[in-house]
Each structure stands twice: as structure tokens, then as C-alpha cells.
Amino acid sequence: MSRGTGGWGPTPDSHAFPTRRYDLVKEFVIALGVVTVLCVVAALVFSSPDEPAISLQQWARQAPADVVATAAGELAGTTTSAGYGPPYNTAAEGQTLGPVNLQKLPGVTLPVEPAKDFVLDPVRTLVGDTAATTAVRVWEAASADQQQAWATAYADALAKAPDGDPAKVASGDYGPVPAIAAAELRLADSGALEGLLTSRTSFFGVDSTKALLLLADGTHLEDAARAQNLGGDQWGIMNETGNYPGQPWLWLYSLWYQVPPFSTSDNADIGVWALMILLSIGFVCIPWIPGLRTLPRHLGVHRLVWRTQRR
Amino acid sequence: MMTQLLAVSQPVPAGPVVQWGWVTITVANLVVILAMILIFVLALVLPFPAPREDEDR
Amino acid sequence: MSRPSTSDPSLGSEPAARRGRDTWTAALTRWVEGLVPKGQWLPDRQPVYVASWIYVFGVACLASLVVIIASGLVLTLGGVTWWHSSTVGHFFNSVHLWSVELFFATMVIHLWGKFFMASWRGNRGLTWATGALAFFGSLGTAFTGYLIQTNFDSQWISTQAKDGLNAAGFGAYFNVMNLGQMVLWHVSLLPLVVGGIVAVHIVLVRRRGVAPPIGAADPTTSLPAPDPEATLGAPAPEGRRTESASVRTVGSSQGPGA
């Protein structure tokens, strides 16, 4: 008998009970056989989803206006990346939970300067393209205020143009920004942009951070995701592309994003994380939480399990 | 590679979803969850084979 | 907690005075042997109350884990982009996906069962806790798996998940958009961590034995036939002696519950 976990009183030693023949190894082998058959059959019948990655070239061909608008936004400092904060830059403070700001704590560990890294440095490589290289020179010679004015004006004008089409933008003083954005689009269309973002300085491109941040700054990636019910407010965390089951075990994590206050908060992510960590700690500690640790006695489901045992 | 390009231009259609108030769940996930509940209930109520020998040790 | 019989100086092969200068090896061996009662590492008998289908979901979960690892190893043979262009690769990716679905399904059913049976009773709190930790560890491992698919899913999941991780401060070190980092976490670091937690969980199950039914009477307090192995001067079978001895001292079986 053990003193054991509180609330139940002493529990008999399991080794003191009469025993029955029970072949654990055979049970495991049968389980392995059954699981293997189920997985192989499911694999043959249902296969698995594999929606190809959206290359920056496809982005350029399917949503060229989005590429131009995103490039202008990077230059104007209005994109998500440009205004993100740690760990990429210091443009913002990050999310807070009351007085606590965990996002700021580690500082900038993955430095990203979106205008430079995503747009200017790649465009600068177009050495044979005089329109592009001249535009970059004009940009760099201008003051920060002038750059801001040009880029913001162009980004606004694109938003107002029919279908966001750069060809239909109202005339205005945009400086070299339209030329730079157009050069970015040409780069993306050529298929060279991922390489410039991931392996230009490192040869081995195993870190897709910059390419992904740029793609996510546009609307095309999110549009494709929402079409598959993968948006955060669509319970997307639980879901998968196509007609496949996703991660139903993430139901509670997804749930919080659907309800206030999280659904309308700028600090939703840290809020949900904090709540889930608390609940997870509680879950691990069920054996020690009074009331919760003895709840099963009152639920009575155990009576089904042991109904064949005489008391 | 051609098949990949074609696949992107016609992405796989999203699976059907079930909406119930503010809860939206894909049919695929719903099937998995219901199957799990069913299996759990069956595990509780189906009789378990008796031991091979009637031995009490 | 049971002690191995060699702790009894009159029975051990080593005189007590010598034990102070035990080798580390002997101490480790004794510790390992003491982890689980003698004969309980892989017994071929279980308590009679282990008689329900609910008990198979732990082993089904373990079997699913084996299939996950096996199919995962095949995928490592070809690398992270192999399966996009190879039918064999895609097949093993599918096996890997469905074994993961089965793994979580059986784990959750196992968890439901253990909850309703309050299987943390009788000093089994750590068994529950390691199980819960294995669940969360598995979530993390599965998550990194989704990240290294090198397809649209990976693009979307990484750019979404980064926000929560960044907000909590982890994103500064755990960069979900860094494929190289995520591959290594998924195929080596996290499986080792989860494997370690699962190993501790299983050792604990063998150590304590399967939790008795709620409200079960202590079998040692009903008038027993004399234990044929408990002759004078010889130790009773491991795991029994100290436990049942304390019961006889204490008296009645069930204390008041909460």
C-alpha cells in the first residue's frame, strides 16, 4: 500500500493482486502490425497533401501588383517586417502582457532591414539594368525624409489605383520608387530573388527567413492560405490544405484566437501563449491539484473499465 | 516540375467545413474527432478476452 | 519503495563495512536494478483487473511511434525535398503523416482513459506528469515536422507561428523560418528529448505497476493463504514485502478519500 498522491487515501500495491496471463511482447507485436497496416492502407488510399511552395517567381506571375505594392511598402517602412521589432529590428516594441515584454528581452538576434535586405540590395545586383541602378543611386542620394515621402506617396497611390495596377497609378512625385519596385518585380519574375535573399552572402541557402518575411509582407500568401481555411480566425491552426485532417489536437490553442479578448487584441499571441502555458502546467500537475485530482471518482467512467472485477 | 507548376495554377480545393455558431471545423477533422470518441467508447464497453488459463496467482 | 535484498547485510555478498567503498559501477548497477521490482521489467502476467480494451492504447501509441520513426528514417534517406518528386518518397511521407495522426489519436484516447481511471493514484503522479510532458514534447516535434515539409504548408505555418514564438521571446533563438535549424530539431534534438521522456514514462509504469481500480480492496488484508514463498528468514518476492508489511502494521485498507 502506498501513502501516495493525496486525496485518495492509501492505494493498494498493484503487485499484491492476483494476476492473469498477459503477453506484453505479443501485444506489442500485434499493435505494431495493426498500426503498420492501418498506416500503409491510409497512405495508399488517402496519400498526403503536398501543395507546392509559392516561389517568388509564381508570386510575381500570379500577383504582380502585390509584389510592387510590397516593395513600395518595404521602402516606406509600412510592411509587417519593417515595423516588426525584435528579434528582427527595433522598429517597434513588441507585444506586451501587462507590464511584461518578453519579445524585447532577447534583443535583435535575427537582424533584418527590410528595405535594404529585401529590395535595395537585390535590385543593386542588376548591374546591366541602367534604369534599376540609376534609381537605386537616386534613392541613396536622397535624405531619409525625402525617401519616406516618395515611398509613402507611391504606396498610397498604388492602393488607390484600380486593381492596384502600377500602370494605372495617378501621376505624382514618387521619385525612383516606381523604378525600384518594377526592378524588384523583374527580379522576382526571373526566379533569381530567393537566391539573392537566402544565399547571396552565404552560398548555402538553408535559412529562408528573408524570403519568407518578404512573401508574408504581401497579401498573396495569406490569400492562398485563407482559401484553404488556414487563417487564424478560421480555426486555421487546426487545419490542413485540401480535404485532409490537420491537427485536431490543437483545438484549444486555435479556440482562443476566435474569442474576445484575443480576437481583437494586438497582443493576442502573447496572451494566448501565456494562457496555454498556464493550462499546460495545470494539466501536467493534475495529480496534485485538489478537487481536480479526485474528479474521476465522481465522473464514474472508471466503473465501465473495471465492471468485471469483484470489489 | 511541370506538374508542380500546373498544381499551383489550379490549387487543390479546400475541404468542406462545418459551421456551428462561432465554431468552424473541417469535415476531415470532425471525422477524426468523432472516430476517436467512438473508439474510446467502444474500448470501454467491448468485452476483453478472458485469460487463457484460469489461474489465480 | 522496494529495496534490493543485497541491502540486507546478513544476506548480501558484500560485508556492510565494504559498501562505503563501493565502485561507481556497482552503485549504478544497484540503482538500475532497483528501478523496477524484480521480475517486473517485462513480466508475462498482469494484475487481473487489466482486462479492458482501454489498456491497449498506450502500447498502440508506442507502436505508432515506432512507425513514425521508421518512416521518418526512410525520409531522411532522401532528404527534405526528395518526396516532392519521388513516388516512393511521397508514399513514405504519407505513412509518416498517418502514423502521426494515429500516434496522437491513440495518445489522446490513452490520456482520456488514464484521466477517468485517475491513474495517478498510488504514487503515480510522475507517471501522469511524464505522459503529459511527452504529449507536449510530441506537439513540438510534430510542429517542426510541418515546418520542414518544404511546401506551401511550411511557408504559411512558419510565417504564422513566428509571431507567437517571437512574442514569448523564444523566436529570437528558435527561428521557424530557418529550415536548417528546424530540420535538426525535428530529426535529432526533439525525438531524443521525447524518446527520453517516453522511456522514463514506461519505466515508471513498470516500476509502479498498473494502477488498481478505484476503491479496490487491498488484497493483502483479506485473510490470505500463507504465502508459499514467505518462509522464515527468506525474503518475500520483491516489491511485496515492504508494501504489505506496512499495510499489516497500518491496519485497515482504505483511508477516507477526498
Q: CB distance from B20 to chain A under 8 Å? A: no
A117 touches A210 (CB < 8 A): yes
Say if the Cβ atoms of B43 and C101 lie within 8 Å.
no
Query: Under an 8 Å CB criterion, which residues of B touch C?
Result: 4, 32, 35-36, 39-40, 42-44, 46, 48, 50-51, 56-57
Mind giving me the DSSP string for A34-45?
HHHHHHHHHHHH
Chains that touch B (3 or more CB pairs under 8 A): A, C
Please give the pLDDT value at position A280: 97
**Torsion of Cα atoms, A219 then A221 then A222 then A225, to 10°:** 150
Q: CB distance from C217 to chain A under 8 Å? A: yes
Please give the pLDDT value at position C248: 35
Which chain C residues contact residue B46 at CB under 8 A?
Answer: 53
A147 touches A198 (CB < 8 A): no
Please give the pLDDT value at position B38: 98
Q: Is the pLDDT of residue B6 over 70?
A: no
Which chain A residues contact residue B35 at CB under 8 A?
Answer: none
Whole-number Å distance between alpha carbons of C98 and A46: 9
Give the pLDDT confidence of A148-206 residue by residue, as tens digits. Answer: 999 999 999 999 999 999 999 999 999 999 999 999 999 999 999 999 999 888 888 89
Q: CB distance from B26 to chain A under 8 Å? A: yes
| Mean pLDDT, residues C58-67 taken together | 98
Q: Is the pLDDT of residue A255 over 50?
A: yes
Please give the pLDDT value at position A79: 97
3-state secondary structure A233-300: HHCHHHCCCCCCCCCHHHHHHHHHCCCCCHHHCCCHHHHHHHHHHHHHHHHHCHHHCCCCCCHHHHHC
Give the pLDDT confidence of A94-109 residue by residue, as tens digits. Answer: 999 999 999 999 999 9
Whole-number Å distance between alpha carbons of C191 and C140: 10
Q: Which of A48, A62, A228 to mutate to test binding with chain B, by most B CBs within 10 Å of its CB? A: A228
Which chain A residues contact residue B56 at CB under 8 A?
Answer: 18-19
B49: nearest CA in chain A? A22
Please give the pLDDT value at position C251: 36
**% of chain A at pLDDT higher than 70:** 98
Query: Nearest by CB to B43, which of C51, C54, C84?
Result: C54
Query: Nearest by CB to A52, which of B8, B22, B28?
Result: B8
Please give the pLDDT value at position C256: 41
Say if the Cβ atoms of C159 and A299 lie within 8 Å.
no
Please give the pLDDT value at position C234: 44
Give the pLDDT confidence of A54-91 residue by residue, as tens digits. Answer: 999 999 999 999 999 999 999 999 999 999 999 999 99
Which chain C residues contact residue A311 at CB under 8 A?
Answer: 213, 215-217
Query: Nearest by CB to A243, which of B15, B33, B55?
Result: B15
Q: Is the pLDDT of residue C165 over 80?
A: yes
Q: Is the pLDDT of residue A305 over 80?
A: yes
pTM score of the predicted model: 0.87
Please give the pLDDT value at position B3: 47
Q: Is the pLDDT of residue A246 over 60?
A: yes
Q: Is the pLDDT of residue A11 over 80?
A: yes
Query: Nearest by CB to C108, which of B36, B51, B56?
Result: B36
Please give the pLDDT value at position A60: 98
A130: number of Cβ within 10 Å: 9
Give the pLDDT confidence of C34-55 residue by residue, as tens digits. Answer: 999 999 999 999 999 999 999 9
Chain A / chain B CB contacts < 8 angstroms: 82
Please give the pLDDT value at position C132: 98
Whole-number Å distance between alpha carbons of A251 and A272: 13
**% of chain A at pLDDT higher than 90:** 92
C53: number of Cβ within 10 Å: 18
Q: Is the pLDDT of residue C237 over 50?
A: no
Whole-number Å distance between alpha carbons of A183 and A123: 6
Which chain C residues contact residue B36 at CB under 8 A?
Answer: 105, 108-109
Which chain C residues contact residue A19 at CB under 8 A?
Answer: 45-48
Give the pLDDT confidence of C171-223 residue by residue, as tens digits. Answer: 999 999 999 999 999 999 999 999 999 999 999 999 999 999 999 999 888 65
Say if the Cβ atoms of B29 and A245 lie within 8 Å.
yes
Decide if the complex's ipTM is over 0.90. yes
